[in-house]
Chains A and B, each alone.
Chain A
């Protein structure tokens, strides 16, 4: 049970500037520690419904369906006119299956048609290892 009587559910979206420089071990530790504090606290209160780190935008693919025609492009969603309106987290066999799901997701809820950016969670398929999923920890 959570400790709120009438809870509202909020999506917290982390926007971060991508850098080509990897984090130093120290920075990485600090960030993990920061996440750990938030997650533990939120979990203790029973309000945590999931959190995961995403892979970088280099692995993103964007799906746009307009008038029944599906267009797939490399890279993240880049328009500033369209605003984030919701999300799905789905387990799929591979990118093609994910793209097929993405093409079925309606994007018109905010008024006009938009697109869906598909990005894998970080660490779900370590290179060179078998492809079973491991749970990603921020």
Chain B
């Protein structure tokens, strides 16, 4: 296969397969048939394009080919059923592409992709199934890439997908955009799945870093799609902004030795300006809609970090205020911990430490490494090295992550 051909096929697969498969599922009513048709269409492209060159609109070519495959399957099934003298098979009447006026454009409705997103992130699936289905059908990742990104063996992933698809079919999970009354909750489920995919790629855990980068890019692409399809939802915009702003720091987060670099110590010249500019615009755009939500607040916090040219310029007071609003909206000990750190940095170290200590008393944070790491950090700033060392040691004992361990050990030896 020559390089042009390979890149043409890869680009259609990465950019367009979600769109194409969404239409195929609507027409066939089956995830399996849709996937089969798409695969067959790509296989056909490989042969045809090699002989007669890459068509002018490769995605349209694949779309038409895949829809024709669906018609073929139905005919074949119909012939088989006729032979068996079975009851009338109705699927064919719902398949449109025999109409010569139905071009590939008419086969892809934006609504199809929205339907697909909502079906893949249906709350009747657990988070693992939601992620697997979303990445497999909407994303441009191959099964192999998903396996490598999540470090799960092939049979496990395959089984998850088979089970999820069986549930769609047999419990009859609809391929619909939810009605207004259930939309807010269903949308939350979609946003959560996309953010989960992003975090899996962003977390500094083990695994192939290139694949992890891809995973973040994929989540951002899905976030963009969601924004395109539902423009007036400020939380969609907030989520996209949040992911862009976090991802903009990717190159600065880990040094050449593979060590985690804290926000404070990062070389801000390594931050991706383009992503920051876009992220900041999106934060503003979302906040102008005046319906704040957790993703918007988090993106506003990320924006404040992005706007500080030097770590010392960070507007910690405003960050603390935003965490306070976030805490009111979404009470969680992790957010409370972040709030306490922002108070320590913006107002008063002692006050922050008091907040953190109080959290440690009331919540089950003792086995949470970030709690000890944050506490250690404040103690270090307060120039209480013995207590800081104690807390760093406790944090060290609680994380197995090599990157995090290296960071903590470095802090520990620096203080001694």
Contacts and interface: CB of A to CB of B under 8 A. Distances in A.
Interface of A: 55, 58-61, 70-75, 93-96, 99-100, 119-120, 125, 127-128, 130-131
A93 B89 CA distance: 20
Given A61-B124, A74-B124, A74-B129, A94 B170 contact: no
A96 B183 CA distance: 12
Contacts of A94: 172-174, 176
Interface string B155-175: 000000001001101111110
B169 A125 contact: yes
B257 interface: no
A58 B178 contact: no
Contacts of B90: 130
Interface string B89-121: 111000000000000000000000000000000
B169 A127 contact: yes
A96 B178 CA distance: 8
A70 B186 CA distance: 11
Interface string B186-229: 00000000000000000000000000000000000000000000
25 contacts: A58-B167, A59-B166, A59-B171, A72-B185, A73-B123, A73-B126, A74-B123, A74-B124, A75-B126, A94-B173, A95-B122, A95-B171, A95-B174, A96-B182, A100-B182, A119-B171, A120-B170, A120-B171, A125-B170, A127-B169, A128-B30, A128-B77, A130-B89, A130-B90, A130-B91
Classify the secondary structure of B's interface with A. loop
B125 interface: yes
A70 B171 contact: no
B123 A58 contact: no
A25 B185 CA distance: 44
Nearest to A55: B170
A127 B174 CA distance: 15
Nearest to A61: B124
Interface of B: 30, 77, 89-91, 122-126, 129, 163, 166-167, 169-174, 176, 178, 182, 185
Contacts of B170: 55, 59, 120, 125, 127
Contacts of B89: 130
A79 to B, nearest CB: 17
Contacts of B185: 70, 72
B137 to A, nearest CB: 18
B126 A120 contact: no
A96 B176 contact: yes
Contacts of A60: 171
A71 B170 CA distance: 21
A114 to B, nearest CB: 18
Contact of B173 (A58, A95, A131): A95
B303 to A, nearest CB: 30
Nearest to A99: B124
B166 to A, nearest CB: 7
Residue of B30, B163, B182 ringed by the most chain A CB atoms within 10 A: B182
A130 B173 CA distance: 15
B305 to A, nearest CB: 33
B130 to A, nearest CB: 9
A127 to B, nearest CB: 5
A5 B49 CA distance: 79
B180 to A, nearest CB: 13
Given A74-B126, A74-B129, A95-B124, A59 B167 contact: yes
B167 to A, nearest CB: 5
A73 B123 CA distance: 6
A59 to B, nearest CB: 4
Contacts of B171: 55, 59-61, 95, 119-120
A20 B89 CA distance: 32
Nearest to B87: A130
